[in-house]
Amino acid sequence: MRLELERELPFEVTDEGYEAIAELARKRFPTSMGGVSQVGRTLTYQQGGVTELKLSRIGPGRTRMSLRSDHRAHGVILGAMAPGASLFALVGVVAVLRAVGATPASLVVALPLVVISCFLLIRALVARSVVTQRAKMAGLFETVAEIAAQHTVPRVRIDEIAPAVENEPEEGAVEGVPVRTTSA
């Protein structure tokens, strides 16, 4: 039950982009459960050891985004809730069976049915919760990619600059007269 997404962006994100992404993470998730930190050109959001969103510059003009979200804790919830819910439901079933005058043999049939039914119900609820959480994380990942795309560092190619520099005369030069430089 892990979600791992990674994408390399063909551009570099500006400081304003990092700030906008950090603000988004702060708004979407409570600060009591996690926090945003930035060291150099790496922004990291961690939520309670379960989710980590990282945006980092990996070279000139390139940024890597990654999201890791671990939902195995939901299995612990399932393991903790199923026995309690089964016991609670069993008490109700026993009371109903006694009220209608059922035999003790019917309890032998009711006990496994109640336990299995409660387990399946809680499992379905936990699975729905995991699917919802994964969809939220995937949506956050795409939103971060969109924000990053809106805040890119402009790329300038050297061949666009070089001809302009070559055509400018050197300081102190007179056309047709070579400039002599001396070093001390």
pTM of the model: 0.66
Contact 35, 25 (CB under 8 A): no
pLDDT band at 178 (very low <50, low <70, confident <90, very high): low
Measured CA to CA, the distance from residue 33 to residue 36 in angstroms comes to 11
Residue 82 or 65, more confident: 65
Whether the pLDDT of residue 6 is over 90: the answer is: yes
Domains of the chain with bracketed CATH: 2-71+135-154 (3.30.160.110), 73-127 (no CATH)
Among 47-56, 65-74, 133-142, 175-184, the least confident range: 175-184
Residue 161 or 86, more confident: 86
| Mean pLDDT to the nearest integer, 1-20 | 88
| Mean pLDDT to the nearest integer, 67-78 | 76
Among 9-18, 20-29, 134-143, the least confident range: 20-29
Half-sphere exposure of 44 (CA within 13 A, CB side): 10
- Secondary structure (DSSP) of 71-104: -THHHHHHHHHHHHHHHHHHHHHHHHHHHTT--H
Residue 182 or 152, more confident: 152
Angle at 151 (CA atoms; ends 146, 152), nearest 5 degrees: 105
| Mean pLDDT to the nearest integer, 122-144 | 86
Query: What is residue 180's predicted lDDT score, i.e. its pLDDT?
Result: 52
